[in-house]
Structure 1
Amino acid sequence: MTPPPVPRKPGFSRRNLLALGASTLGASTLGAAALTRSASASAAEKNVAVSPPSVITSPPRVWGPKAPVAFTPDPDIIFYDPSFGTVILGNAPLVQAWQGRALWLEGPAWSSEGRFLIVSDVMGSTQYRYLPEERCMTVFRKESYHSNGNTYDLEGRLLTCEHGLRRVIRWEHDGRCTVLAESFGGKRLNSPNDIVVDPSGGIWFTDPPYGDRLWEGHPDAPLDGKKAKDNLTWNLDLEATEQIGGREGQDTHVFHLDPETRKLTAVLSGKDIAGPNGLCFSPDRKTLYVVSSEKGAMAPDGGGYRNIYAFDVGNGALRNRRVFADMTLGGHKLMPDGIKADVLGNLWVAANGPLGLCGVFVYNPAGKMIGRLRLPRSVSNLAFGGTQRDRLFMCAENTIFTLDVATQGAGLA
């Protein structure tokens, strides 16, 4: 159950004060505001369904370059535990830093050397470079073969997951591309999604089937005489089928790639966790968090249904699976996607769901939700960046939101 929010003072937002006008505020208005807040708190305590109108800023917040000066404390930064105050700056608001012609932004990764953010437009098959000081977005790589997750290795080389060519690659400092993984057990990978690096240089990545749509990478060939997904007319030639289709029944996995031997090991399968998606390490690198994004699906051993799982890490293997968080808020089961940890061990989770509930959930190391960031659309992935790694970048469809925080991202992006 999600704990009740810690009340803010005053009991109504300054945005409401400005909208109503000081001259029109009477005792009845203040009483109604107090009753609304009381009702919301009661609903949170009982974990009952909350309708969107009661959980979005009223009047609706204006985002973007034409937005008025943001109020602080920001009413869309919501506290459930006083400890959330240790990572939130009271005078830092949520900002819509960029919005443009991208279709679906994913895989943010901060380049400490270049001081820019790499993001993937999965549907647009383009990698972009976002320059935060100028709030400017430039094309980094076109064609990106529907790239998704990105990160940097211990030598500062960019690692990228590609849906289109179903592989994990590394960009060398001299511009060459090295293919790190593209098959397992004699079968092509599905659609590598998210990727992280451990202190020894080992590479961990998830391989769900989410890139099996025409607009996200590689439509799969029909199997066993069934229709192709999305009723596509399958008339591709053999060569094209090899690259963007022709799925050979590969199971979903979480993989580990040894940095020395290049051996690819499946550390988790679909029997262990359904639909593996985002993943990240705890600050001490002893715990790996893995997201299950399947809707209602349960793996045979119980790992699934949009939970976040924690595993103990040792010698390139995972053990002791347990549910870290169930992503339930106000009676709604939201879908987790990208995740990142801060240096205090808190987990920041991209949350997909109804308006008013979507945004970013923040859990402490014990799995308790201590707060959340309420945004006007679902967030796909996030990353800490900036010169001090104290700025949170959040990708939401064709938009990047930012928040300066009172903590730092843990380790590599």
Structure 2
Amino acid sequence: MGELTSGRGKVHGRPSLTGLSRRGLLGGLAGLAAAPVAGRAIGSIASGPSVMSSPPRSWGAEDTPVNLPDPDVLALDPSFGLVNYGNSPLRRLWQGGGWLEGPAWCTVGRFLLLSDTITSRQYRYDPEDGPQGHMSLYRRESFNANGNTFDAEGRLVTCEHGMRRVIRWEHDGSVTVLADHYRGRTLNSPNDVVAAPDGSIWFTDPAYGDGVVEGHADVDGAANPQRHLNPHLDAELTTQYGGLRRQEDHTFRVDGRTGKVEAMLSQHDVAGPNGLCFSPDGTKLYVASSGAAPGSQPPLPDHGIHVFDMRQGRPVNGRLFTDFTLAGRAMRPDGIRADVEGNLWCGAWGPLGLCGVFIYSPHGQMIGRIRLPVGCSNLTFGGPKRNVLYMCCGTALFSLITATQGAGRS
């Protein structure tokens, strides 16, 4: 996700949370919470009890027992019992990142790869190294990488905000650029990426990374109208990109055989596209419409999740899957993944006590949710059995053992 537009308003008749950046959501939602936060501020989860469960839990004490079933894993429909494992608690595995994104499970290496868009690093989490696992540096300079996935041949595919491109790491260590331009113009900031059942690569290209924090600023235009931001200060990057300007949001497909880059959805189909995934049988494509980036022009995001039928390799018959509201609040969807039953697991931003992960049935009914002390930016299923849900939440990584498995590749 990225920065949100300023001002308050309504989107499709729903109250909007605009006026807050996603970073600001961590520290600016105290007035929206159902109860005051004891201990440290909302943005900090290093210590202090949570207001979400009773008795309050302290995320800073990793050995503190939690009553089971976990009080912060909520079943809203009996069908959630088929995918929820009640004997496992939520765990905070690690904290120390800037902004964690793009978790992807490496089946061969049996580790979780994730990006830190702010520090421009990638990390490797080994769940089998010690009781809490072990986090280590995977790539020191990732060019503000965001989304990751592994293709059918086990090659890592990464979205780079800084270079505004999608790349693939070959088995010999070389890099192939899958996409960096469309119709003669550079991409915005490729965000999330998935491997489709037909071998193609799909990715979203909003403009959340068109700034100095998660990438580099545009030379001018709506996102840098006064030209005060200089995109050429980083000497390591300045020789590798020129003056850039954002374009319309798109959801792209890269053909697995020819390498052809084609826009499958426009900003009019899904504005502010963020997380995306396919149904287990590949017949449906889901795309989250998240916050508006700086300089966004109408149509603006509606903060819902959209679903499309896949026919002859193309998404058609687009419609709203869910408006992503909870308790009358307009929430923000981010990363999404499907399980083998066709349920959708969705990262959610919003008030403390409501944010975390929402789980929807294939018919769009919310059947369960996971309350977290901070919103979830992205998530994936991993572990040798692909039944561990890994959740990137701001500066921290959380996990939950489930009774289901992730569909497709992370």
TM-score normalised according to structure 1 size: 0.82
Secondary structure of 1:120 counterpart: strand
**Post-superposition, which runs of at least 4 consecutive aligned residues in structure 1 deviate over 3 A?**
64-67, 233-245, 295-300
Distance 1:243 1:327 in 2: 39
Deviation for aligned residue 1:58: 3.6
Distance 1:138 1:189 in 2: 30
The answer to whether structure 1 residue 72 and structure 2 residue 45 are counterparts is no
Secondary structure of 2:81 counterpart: helix
Show the counterpart of 2:82: 86
For the 8 Å contact 2:155–2:168, the answer to whether it is kept is yes
In the TM superposition, 1:32-181 aligns within 5 A as: 51-53=33-35, 56-100=52-96, 102-134=97-129, 135-181=133-179
For the 8 Å contact 1:287–1:310, the answer to whether it is kept is yes
Counterpart of 1:258 in structure 2: which amino acid?
D
For the 8 Å contact 1:342–1:409, the answer to whether it is kept is yes
Distance 1:351 1:243 in 2: 35
Task: Report the structure, 1 or 2, having the larger helix content.
Answer: 1
Deviation for aligned residue 1:193: 0.5
Q: Gaps spanning 5+ residues in structure 1: where?
A: 1-48
For the 8 Å contact 1:81–1:370, the answer to whether it is kept is yes
Please list the CA deviations of residues 328-372 of structure 1 after superposition, one character each: whole Å capped at 9, or x if unmatched: 001111110000000000000000111111100000000000010
In the TM superposition, 1:210-249 aligns within 5 A as: 210-223=208-221, 226-228=225-227, 231-232=228-229, 243=240, 246-249=243-246
Counterpart of 1:144 in structure 2: which amino acid?
S
Distance 2:231 2:182 in 1: 25
Counterpart of 2:387 in structure 1: which amino acid?
D
In the TM superposition, 1:319-338 aligns within 5 A as: 319-338=316-335
Show the counterpart of 1:275: 272
Distance 2:298 2:280 in 1: 28
RMSD: 2.3
Distance 1:51 1:185 in 2: 45
For the 8 Å contact 2:219–2:229, the answer to whether it is kept is no
Please list the CA deviations of residues 191-233 of structure 1 after superposition, one character each: whole Å capped at 9, or x if unmatched: 00001111221110000000011110111112389314xx535
Counterpart of 1:275 in structure 2: which amino acid?
G
Counterpart of 2:83 in structure 1: which amino acid?
V
Distance 2:360 2:251 in 1: 23
Please list the CA deviations of residues 234-287 of structure 1 after superposition, one character each: whole Å capped at 9, or x if unmatched: 775999667566223421100011111111110111122110000000000010
Secondary structure of 2:138 counterpart: strand
Counterpart of 2:74 in structure 1: which amino acid?
I
Secondary structure of 2:35 counterpart: helix
For the 8 Å contact 1:217–1:244, the answer to whether it is kept is no
Distance 1:193 1:110 in 2: 17
Counterpart of 2:112 in structure 1: which amino acid?
L
The answer to whether structure 1 residue 361 and structure 2 residue 358 are counterparts is yes
Show the counterpart of 2:19: none
TM-score normalised according to structure 2 size: 0.83
Show the counterpart of 1:201: 199
Secondary structure of 1:215 counterpart: coil
For the 8 Å contact 1:218–1:245, the answer to whether it is kept is no
Q: What percent of counterpart residues are identical?
A: 54
Q: Gaps spanning 5+ residues in structure 2: where?
A: 1-30, 37-50
Distance 1:243 1:388 in 2: 41
For the 8 Å contact 1:306–1:336, the answer to whether it is kept is yes
Distance 2:72 2:329 in 1: 19
Deviation for aligned residue 1:66: 3.7
Aligned residues: 360
For the 8 Å contact 1:64–1:95, the answer to whether it is kept is no
